[in-house]
Structure 1
Amino acid sequence: MRPTLIASACLLSAGLAHAAPAPAPTRLDHILLWGHGIDQITSVMAVKLGFQVRPGRDPDGVANRYIRLADSSFIEILGITRPNPKFDPGMKEDQEALKGGPGSRAFGFRSSRLDAIRSTLQAKQYAVTPFFSGPDSAKPGWRLFAFDKAPLSSNTFFIDYKADYAPDQFDPANTADYRVTREHPNGARELSSIWLVSADADADRKQLENMGLGHAVPVKLPELGARGFCVPVGPTALLALQPDGAGLAAQAMAAGPRILGVSYGVTDLGRAQRWVERGYQQKLTTYRGLSGESVLAPTVDDLGLSVEFHALKPGGSPCPAA
């Protein structure tokens, strides 16, 4: 089974038992993003936003495709391709929560220490699942575990990959293909942050700290009408947010907790901005975000979440100073 089917099916969590901190994951890995349909979401990501979209598979009427970045993170996009598709339980849950519309309710942490993390979480009374691997038993390329009850307001899982796992290439030894598939017209190079929204950002912060992800920094995002916490995860950041007055966060929460948005570093912010402006036929204004000069693409109707681009910044903490 592949990460999409397990991650969206098996997710959920437990109370705050006292035990040694879990080993911190290396970074945020990817989100699972549903579109109105697989071709619709592919068009939005490629034409309106300037990403290169790679092929995936289409088992039982639910197709997936990939957007892979130079920092090894990616976006897995999902769409229904025929009437009466066969959903696994997690997909059915996603579709019911999203009311058949676009959006994301699941994301992954990556770590090479899955066994240690899972053992520590078990000791803290989190109801973790067994390990799952894929894409098939003959040649597994990834391994993950999730939760039988979500510890956070959005579903999450922990995943790791074999060094030679390359699902978007026929020949893993072809380094030129590997490089080219991670180059995007909009200049996107890295995943900077994933933004969760719920009615209680501090509850997410406490769970993250109990799971071994501390050092939260209070943040306020007026562009989203949100406030909460920025939690560093290696070179990336997980934002635990809640609405702060009117705005995109309050609009999203009207439909329930979910992933509010994602942020990507680009080589040329002006180029990314021009691409989105052409795609959406409207002028955009830059602002000073958590990652510096940024622009917010108007993607909520198309994707059910916001996409932010910001100029790449060298080194430093993924969260602002307290």
Structure 2
Amino acid sequence: MRPMLLVSAMLLCLGAAQVTARAAAAPPARLDHILLWGRSIDQVTAVMAVKLGFQVRPGRDPGGVANRYIRFADSSFVELLGITRPDPAFDPGMKEDQQALKGDPGSRTFGFRTSSLDAIHRSLQALHYAVTPFFSGPDSAKPGWRLFAFDRAPLSSNTFFIDYAADYAPDQFDPANAGDHRVTREHPNGARELSAIWLVSGDAEADRKQLAKMGFGNAVPVRLPEVGAVGFCVPVGPTALLALQPEGSGIAAETLASGGPRVLGVSFGVADLGRAQRWVERGYERTLATYRGLSGESFLAPTRDDLGLSIEFHAIVPGRAPCAGADVQDGV
């Protein structure tokens, strides 16, 4: 991934152990957020708020690409992006992203969060990954975030590693005001956490191998009949990264055929699955069935046409480990 995409997107919002050529030790990290492009910033905001029941927070629009946020109690978030003028100030990475999406909604980029940013950067360099220098923001006068990306994406979707200053307040609220901080992370649909990101490509095994080399091992074979996909569930701290490929016809095959490798879906844990289901059923004016997914009782919102990806809601099960519900399949 070209680093400029990551720098622009984040500006909108806001001794190491010896390593060898073998896989690195598992880095202390979790999934942080995805960058989700809409047909416009108002379109993607309306879908997320009205149809799905998320609270959407304001962002900025410095150069014709606006952003907004959906933040969760577990500190993860979704960053919404949309073009606001005919001649936006794209950097090369943004232009590449939009060319791949063909102006349609969708996501091609996600981030890992870690407090061991420097150690992971050195580890990946030693493993001969084309990592970028560090970038930081929002400005030098105020603590914010630091990140690095890759000049050549190691996975089928673009990724980066990021860390935040302890007092960074991207919602523009006084961090001393605990009430404001709390209420920005409460959602009408009861969502509390981003629990999994689903990647789709033509070769799930290639993504699994790269993740293992980067230090994210313990992959578990999985099958997702709801989207027609098969692949691996890889634990990343308290979260899970799914590396998938199509299995027969279905949403995964259609998504890959129409837009290439990308983020196929995102899973959110909710406090009350029935409430979330009722909200989405009203928003989409249809009845939705639940199923037993990787995270327990779940349902899939019909968001592919609106957002270019699928959104899964599941009931939160306290203490449940990521990938614990994976259905192991021989020969995956």
TM-score, with normalisation over the residues of structure 2?
A: 0.92
Provide closer, same or farther for how the CA distance between residues 106 and 24 of structure 1 changes in structure 2, counting only shifts above 3 A: same
Task: Confirm or deny: 8 A CA contact 1:54 1:65 kept in the other structure.
Answer: yes
Q: Which moved more, 1:293-302 or 1:136-145?
A: 136-145
Provide closer, same or farther for how the CA distance between residues 196 and 252 of structure 1 changes in structure 2, counting only shifts above 3 A: same
Q: CA RMSD in A?
A: 1.6
Match of 1:153 in 2: 156
Task: Confirm or deny: 8 A CA contact 2:290 2:298 kept in the other structure.
Answer: yes
1:130-141 paired onto structure 2 within 5 Å: 130-141=133-144
Match of 2:15 in 1: none
1:30-45 paired onto structure 2 within 5 Å: 30-45=33-48
Among 254, 258, 261, which residue is 1:257 paired with?
261
Shift of 1:170: 2.8
**Residue 162 of structure 2 corresponds to residue 169 of structure 1:** no
1:23-34 paired onto structure 2 within 5 Å: 23-34=26-37
Task: Confirm or deny: 8 A CA contact 1:38 1:78 kept in the other structure.
Answer: yes
Task: Confirm or deny: 8 A CA contact 1:142 1:161 kept in the other structure.
Answer: yes
Match of 2:16 in 1: none
Task: Confirm or deny: 8 A CA contact 2:23 2:214 kept in the other structure.
Answer: no
Shift of 1:169: 3.2
Please give the per-residue CA displacement for 1:253-278, whole angstroms capped at 9, x wherever unaligned: 10200000000000000100010010
- Alpha-carbon distance between aligned partners in 1 of 2:96 and 2:201, rounded to the nearest angstrom: 18
Match of 1:275 in 2: 279
Task: Confirm or deny: 8 A CA contact 2:25 2:215 kept in the other structure.
Answer: yes
Q: Which moved more, 1:137-146 or 1:51-60?
A: 137-146
How many pairs does the alignment contain? Answer: 314
Match of 1:11 in 2: none
Among 279, 283, 288, which residue is 1:284 paired with?
288
User: Which stretches of structure 1, 4 residues or more, deviate above 3 A after TM superposition?
Assistant: 1-4
Match of 2:108 in 1: 105
Shift of 1:166: 1.0
- Alpha-carbon distance between aligned partners in 2 of 1:278 and 1:256, rounded to the nearest angstrom: 31
Shift of 1:317: 1.6
- Alpha-carbon distance between aligned partners in 2 of 1:7 and 1:211, rounded to the nearest angstrom: 23
Shift of 1:185: 0.1
Task: Confirm or deny: 8 A CA contact 2:61 2:67 kept in the other structure.
Answer: yes
Matched letter for residue 301 of structure 1: D
Query: How high is the sequence identity, in percent, across the aligned residues?
Result: 77
**Residue 299 of structure 2 corresponds to residue 295 of structure 1:** yes
Provide closer, same or farther for how the CA distance between residues 20 and 195 of structure 1 changes in structure 2, counting only shifts above 3 A: closer
Shift of 1:18: 1.5
| SS at structure 1 position matched to 2:132 | coil
- Alpha-carbon distance between aligned partners in 2 of 1:32 and 1:6, rounded to the nearest angstrom: 8
Please give the per-residue CA displacement for 1:35-54, whole angstroms capped at 9, x wherever unaligned: 00000100000000000000
Among 230, 234, 238, which residue is 2:237 paired with?
234
- Alpha-carbon distance between aligned partners in 2 of 1:70 and 1:310, rounded to the nearest angstrom: 16
| SS at structure 2 position matched to 1:147 | coil
Matched letter for residue 269 of structure 1: L
- Alpha-carbon distance between aligned partners in 2 of 1:85 and 1:142, rounded to the nearest angstrom: 24
Please give the per-residue CA displacement for 1:32-90, whole angstroms capped at 9, x wherever unaligned: 00000000100000000000000100011000000000000000000011111110111
- Alpha-carbon distance between aligned partners in 2 of 1:119 and 1:19, rounded to the nearest angstrom: 14
Q: Which moved more, 1:307-316 or 1:223-232?
A: 307-316
Matched letter for residue 145 of structure 2: W
- Alpha-carbon distance between aligned partners in 1 of 2:155 and 2:302, rounded to the nearest angstrom: 26
Shift of 1:142: 0.3
- Alpha-carbon distance between aligned partners in 2 of 1:4 and 1:296, rounded to the nearest angstrom: 32
Match of 2:224 in 1: 221
1:188-203 paired onto structure 2 within 5 Å: 188-203=191-206
Task: Confirm or deny: 8 A CA contact 1:3 1:134 kept in the other structure.
Answer: no
Provide closer, same or farther for how the CA distance between residues 3 and 257 of structure 1 changes in structure 2, counting only shifts above 3 A: closer
- Alpha-carbon distance between aligned partners in 2 of 1:148 and 1:74, rounded to the nearest angstrom: 24
Please give the per-residue CA displacement for 1:214-261, whole angstroms capped at 9, x wherever unaligned: 000000000010000000001000000000001000011102000000
**Residue 209 of structure 2 corresponds to residue 206 of structure 1:** yes
Unpaired segments of 5 or more residues in structure 2?
A: 12-19
Q: Which moved more, 1:155-164 or 1:20-29?
A: 20-29
Match of 1:13 in 2: none
- Alpha-carbon distance between aligned partners in 1 of 2:320 and 2:57, rounded to the nearest angstrom: 31
- Alpha-carbon distance between aligned partners in 2 of 1:153 and 1:293, rounded to the nearest angstrom: 29
- Alpha-carbon distance between aligned partners in 2 of 1:207 and 1:278, rounded to the nearest angstrom: 41
**Residue 127 of structure 2 corresponds to residue 93 of structure 1:** no
Matched letter for residue 42 of structure 2: D
Task: Confirm or deny: 8 A CA contact 2:223 2:229 kept in the other structure.
Answer: yes
- Alpha-carbon distance between aligned partners in 2 of 1:128 and 1:4, rounded to the nearest angstrom: 14
Task: Confirm or deny: 8 A CA contact 2:5 2:91 kept in the other structure.
Answer: no
- Alpha-carbon distance between aligned partners in 2 of 1:148 and 1:243, rounded to the nearest angstrom: 27
Task: Confirm or deny: 8 A CA contact 2:5 2:92 kept in the other structure.
Answer: no
Task: Confirm or deny: 8 A CA contact 1:196 1:239 kept in the other structure.
Answer: yes
Match of 1:116 in 2: 119
Task: Confirm or deny: 8 A CA contact 1:23 1:116 kept in the other structure.
Answer: no
